[in-house]
Amino acid sequence: MKPGKISEEPLDPYVPQHGNRGYRVSRYELDLTYRVHSNRLSGRASITATTTDVRPRFSLDLATTMQVSKLSVNGRRVAKYTHRNGKLTLTPAQPVPAGGVLSITVQYAGNPQPIVSMWGDVGWEELSEGSLVASQPNGAPSWFPCDDHPSCKASYRISIATDSPYHAVANGTLVSKQTKASLTTWVYEQTEPMSTYLATVQIGPYERRRIDSGQVPVHVIHPPRLREHVDHDFGRQPQMVEVFERLFGPYPFADYSVVVTDDDLEIPIEAQGLSVFGANHSDGRRGCERLVAHELAHQWFGNSLTLAVWKDIWLHEGFACYAEWLWSENSGGPDAHTHALHAHRRLAAEPQDILLGDPGPRLMFDDRIYKRGALTLHALRQEIGDAAFFALLRTWTEKYRHSTVSTEQFTDLATHFTDTSLRGLWQSWLAEKPLPRL
């Protein structure tokens, strides 16, 4: 090892090249300009952080498709920095003491492309007319410099200037919209802390409409040609919000939006405060309503309560999958137990080679994680009864609202809702590969 080189364990072995040490980000302010037809993104990122220890240099995650033109720390231009292998490493002109303010400004530009990963292409992606961002788990550096790890939650201001015919959507509340010449600038403020992979920008030939009259505003954003199908396929979202608030606790954000793109998408995409579906998910027959419920449930389980490390992915996907069954149970469809029996039969015919509590990076988005995670919750519900189970979920979402969570925190909390030991249940469902009996 070279003298002075810092050797550190990765923050998360599932995404070992992502995330950084030495500071904690509290705020991202992104001023972006995107030209749709040339796929050209230019940006100025202002990052406010607090140092956790004294070190000679700091790193940010940023794809090398983005070229840095100017960099400053605490108001002073940085002359010494490197940008390679997805890391922007900078040396401040003056050392920053532990607990000191680290204010970083990065000016950059390029033609954004998704990051190629073992889970496919993630990050900023071109559409036929516009773009979308789908960053789970490590695509955020494709479009802005960041500390790319789910435990890094911060507030955001996202300003996006784009060609005036297009509608731009980002996380949070739209605080201003201004048109000058051929560009319209949309400014969104996300006050609740958000993980980098949940930050998003969606651009397309969209119209935006509110579809409810309840306490939680629900909006649909879509191409005009899809209006009739969207109204039918997503029309029951206000009722979903009511059901989930009763079961899970208050909706954790100011509002909820669904974007339906003009292109087909393989799967829907979650982001904080909104979800993204393809035109193929709106068939006019509510053929994908279980996915509508799934993505809405992620606002509680995944966005407000976010895993600290990726091995706990079942806390997102298992809970959202179980929410599909709960919506069915509460909307005139088959009950959760019927869904559980069906899922159990299907899983029993699959290879028994997955550990729900630590599946490894290649399997963390395997459908078996979703279904076995939901079955784990159903087994818990059977064990402790409905009253205790739903009280546990409401306490879970309240106690850890807008923070990061772990499997251990959930299993520890569950002990307060029963006099029976749950150790055997957790061992068989989370820590062993064979599928337990239901």
Residue 307 has pLDDT above 50, yes or no: yes
Model confidence over 332-362: pLDDT tens digits?
Answer: 999 999 999 999 999 999 999 999 999 999 9
Residue 435 lies inside a defined structural domain of this protein: no
Average pLDDT over residues 254-263: 97
The verdict on 177 and 217 lying in the same domain is no
Domain boundary (199, 230, 250) is at: 199
The verdict on 187 and 249 lying in the same domain is no
Q: What percent of the chain has pLDDT over 90?
A: 95
Q: What percent of the chain has pLDDT over 70?
A: 98
Residue 437 lies inside a defined structural domain of this protein: no
Evaluate whether 63 touches 47 at the Cβ level (below 8 Å).
no
Q: Which of 94, 105, 116, 97 is nearest to 72 (CA)?
A: 105
The verdict on 106 and 222 lying in the same domain is no
Domain boundary (299, 318, 336) is at: 299
Average pLDDT over residues 238-247: 97
Model confidence over 114-159: pLDDT tens digits?
Answer: 999 999 999 999 999 999 999 999 999 999 999 999 999 999 999 9
pTM score, two decimals? 0.96
Residue 260 lies inside a defined structural domain of this protein: yes
Model confidence over 163-206: pLDDT tens digits?
Answer: 999 999 999 999 999 999 999 999 999 999 999 999 999 999 99
Residue 4 has pLDDT above 80, yes or no: no
The verdict on 181 and 153 lying in the same domain is yes
The verdict on 219 and 102 lying in the same domain is no
Q: How would residue 5 be classed by pLDDT, with cut points 50, 70 and 90?
A: very low
Residue 7 has pLDDT above 60, yes or no: no
The verdict on 219 and 327 lying in the same domain is no
Range of the structural domain that residue 391 is part of: 305-430
In this prediction, residue 1 carries a pLDDT of 39
The verdict on 161 and 287 lying in the same domain is no
The verdict on 316 and 415 lying in the same domain is yes
Q: How would residue 3 be classed by pLDDT, with cut points 50, 70 and 90?
A: very low
Residue 6 has pLDDT above 80, yes or no: no
Model confidence over 93-112: pLDDT tens digits?
Answer: 889 999 999 999 999 999 99
Q: How would residue 8 be classed by pLDDT, with cut points 50, 70 and 90?
A: confident
The chain-wide mean pLDDT, for the chain, equals 96
Counted domains in the chain? 3
Residue 438 lies inside a defined structural domain of this protein: no
Model confidence over 20-42: pLDDT tens digits?
Answer: 999 999 999 999 999 999 999 99
Residues 6 or more apart whose CB falls under 8 angstroms from that of 332 comprise none
Domain boundary (135, 165, 199) is at: 199
Evaluate whether 166 touches 205 at the Cβ level (below 8 Å).
yes
Query: Residue 271 belongs to a domain with what CATH number?
Result: 3.30.2010.30
The verdict on 357 and 273 lying in the same domain is no
The verdict on 152 and 100 lying in the same domain is yes
Model confidence over 42-63: pLDDT tens digits?
Answer: 999 999 999 999 999 999 999 9
